[in-house]
Structures are given as structure tokens and as C-alpha cells.
């Protein structure tokens, strides 16, 4: 995509179901260095989900899958956020047997490698209700977690040691109301989709507040709920917004200036979304959106 053009719909795949290439509420999407697409196909915490990761090529052709219901290593009940590091390792936020959220690390074939942050200090138990959270990994392998239940950001090193926590509940700078998306740019600045504050906040890698943009609304640069966020290699920031009348993907400069928008209302047509959550961009600048309640992935160029 050129920097100022509106990405155009080129491809979609998926329907509701349990077969290969079908989804039950796909919530997260990520792309590796070979442009393979990984989808968190979860169905949520409290429904009969698929509890798996599916892997596709860049054209949406099914490659493989892994995971099942359960809370042991390699099992994916409660799977939500997904991130991929520089070595194409896959990080997925999941549940432990104690109802505590943690991260599982897999290789690109789905082989379990490690459990990180178990239990993740401060992350609330899901016994009291589902917490949405997202993860991202920087170039040094540090892992950042947006926890919507406690309105905090957690930073771990590549070994899973807790390095930093920031944030509190509220509407001020550096405060959050249900942060649901997190992304990092090439300069290790951190972007948080601060959902019910209807904005994006930007921090340095030490958690210092830098800037914010967005207000509640339906116009350009406005959000009903800011949900997913991703920063591409050119520094453009993509944000999914959901809510009746404003299901869209918006693109901004890294300073928060509005550039373009895909979609603007809920629907099932090409280029429309229904409660889309995850978003990612590959090395060619193609955009992939987890169109959650339409049970599909949409791709734009």
C-alpha cells in the first residue's frame, strides 16, 4: 500500500465451523517472516470453542493447526493474544489450571517451547470473568502484555522475568480503561489500544507516557472501542475499532495523524467488519484483520 492510499480488499477466508480453515470467533492474527498467517481460533472462554491456532499461507490456504481445550502445556483454553518474535517463535496468551493467565511459547510448527509468567503476578484470575489481553514482542525478545482486567501493562524479558509494570485505572495520561491491544514500533515505542477510553496511548519502552490520540465517536480518528493495534515496518499505526456504526480499521502516522480508514459500519460484506479484534501487517504491507463475529480473516492491500 502506498502511504496515503486506502488499503483495498483483496481476499477473505473462513466460515463458522470446526473444520480446517473454519473459525469460531477468530480473535488474534499474526504473520511470520515467511508471510505465514497464524490465527487464534478460540471461541472465547465460556462457549464451545475451537481452542487452537491455525496456520495459513498468505493466500489463506490452510497449512496446519495445533491446540485443544485444556490448561496444560500446548493446550489453548482461553487463548487470546498472539505475537511472533524475530526468530518466528509464536507467543499465545492462555489460561492455567488455576484460572490465571500466562503465555505459551511455540515454534512455528506449533511445538511447545516454554511457559512464561505462570502465574503472571498481578494478572487477575479469570474465575471472576474473562479478561481480554494482548501481547507483543520487541526486537530484543522482551514481551509486553496488555491486561484488560487490571488496567496495566506488564513487560517481561525473553526468559519470562518480570521487568516492569505500568498503568492504573482511569482516564488520565498513562491510565487505562480496559486496554485490549498492544503493539511496538521499530524504535521500541509501545502503543496501547485503550478501549473504553476510546484512544491510543503511546509510551517509550520504559513505560513513560509520550502522547495519545482519539476520542469517542464515529468520525475519522475517533473510536467507539479501540481494540486491536499494530505498527508496520514503515511506522504506520493500524487500529481496529468496534461498536455499532464504527466497525473499522483506521491508519495513522506514528504521531497520531489520521491517514485512511477501511470500513465504517458493521456488516458482512467485503471490507465490512463485525467486532473485529486482531490486526497485523506483513512485510509487503498487506493488512490482515481478524473479523471476529464474521468468522473470517480479511486481507487488504
> Tens digit of pLDDT for each residue in 233-287?
999 999 999 887 789 999 999 999 999 999 888 899 999 999 999 999 999 999 9
pLDDT at 276: 93
Lowest mean pLDDT among 51-55, 94-98, 146-150: 94-98
pLDDT at 261: 94
Q: Contacts for 124-129 with beta carbons within 8 Å, 24 or more apart?
A: 124/149, 124/150, 125/98, 125/99, 125/100, 126/45, 126/78, 126/95, 126/99, 126/100, 126/101, 127/99
pLDDT class of 150 with cuts at 50, 70, 90: confident
The 10 Å Cβ neighbour count of residue 207 is 17
pLDDT, mean over the chain: 90
State mean pLDDT over 214-224. 93
Number of helical H runs and strand E runs in the chain: 0, 24
pLDDT at 78: 82
Task: Quote the DSSP letter at residue 125.
Answer: P
pLDDT digits (tens, 9 = 90+) for 103-115: 899 999 999 999 8
pLDDT at 100: 64
- The answer for residues whose C-beta is within 8 angstroms of residue 258's C-beta and 6 or more apart is 220, 221, 250, 251, 252
The 10 Å Cβ neighbour count of residue 146 is 30
Within its chain, how far is the Cα of 132 from the centroid? 10
pLDDT class of 98 with cuts at 50, 70, 90: low
Who wins on pLDDT, 84 or 245? 84
Q: What is the pTM of this model?
A: 0.94
Alpha-carbon distance of 20 to 160, in angstroms, equals: 32
Who wins on pLDDT, 173 or 97? 173
pLDDT digits (tens, 9 = 90+) for 165-205: 999 999 999 999 999 999 999 999 999 999 999 999 999 99
pLDDT at 115: 87
Amino acid at each position: 500500500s502506498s502511504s496515503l492510499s486506502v488499503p483495498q480488499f483483496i481476499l477473505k477466508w473462513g466460515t463458522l465451523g470446526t473444520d480446517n480453515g473454519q473459525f469460531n470467533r477468530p480473535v488474534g492474527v499474526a504473520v511470520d517472516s515467511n508471510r505465514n498467517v497464524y490465527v487464534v481460533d478460540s471461541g472465547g472462554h465460556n462457549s464451545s470453542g475451537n481452542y487452537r491456532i491455525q496456520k495459513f499461507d498468505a493466500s489463506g490456504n490452510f497449512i496446519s493447526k495445533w491446540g485443544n481445550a485444556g490448561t496444560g502445556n500446548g493446550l489453548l483454553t482461553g487463548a487470546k493474544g498472539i505475537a511472533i518474535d524475530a526468530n518466528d517463535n509464536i507467543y499465545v496468551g492462555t489460561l492455567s489450571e488455576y484460572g490465571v493467565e500466562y503465555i505459551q511459547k511455540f515454534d512455528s510448527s506449533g511445538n511447545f517451547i516454554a511457559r512464561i509468567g505462570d502465574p503472571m503476578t498481578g494478572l487477575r484470575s479469570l474465575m471472576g470473568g474473562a479478561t481480554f489481553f494482548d501481547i507483543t514482542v520487541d526486537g530484543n525478545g522482551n514481551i509486553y502484555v496488555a491486561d484488560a482486567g487490571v488496567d496495566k501493562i506488564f513487560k517481561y524479558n525473553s526468559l519470562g522475568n518480570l521487568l516492569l509494570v505500568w498503568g492504573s485505572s482511569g482516564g488520565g495520561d498513562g491510565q487505562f480503561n480496559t486496554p485490549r491491544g498492544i503493539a511496538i514500533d521499530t524504535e521500541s515505542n509501545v502503543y496501547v489500544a485503550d478501549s473504553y477510553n476510546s484512544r491510543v496511548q503511546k509510551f517509550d519502552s520504559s513505560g513513560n507516557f509520550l502522547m495519545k490520540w482519539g476520542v469517542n465517536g464515529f468520525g475519522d480518528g475517533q473510536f467507539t472501542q479501540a481494540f486491536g493495534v499494530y505498527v508496520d515496518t514503515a511506522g504506520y499505526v493500524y487500529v481496529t475499532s468496534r461498536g455499532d456504526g464504527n466497525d473499522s480499521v483506521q491508519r495513522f502516522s506514528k504521531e497520531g495523524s489520521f491517514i485512511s480508514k477501511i470500513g465504517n459500519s458493521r456488516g458482512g460484506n467485503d471490507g465490512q467488519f463485525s467486532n473485529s479484534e486482531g490486526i497485523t501487517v506483513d512485510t509487503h504491507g498487506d493488512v490482515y484483520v481478524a473479523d471476529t463475529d464474521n468468522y473470517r480473516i480479511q486481507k487488504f492491500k
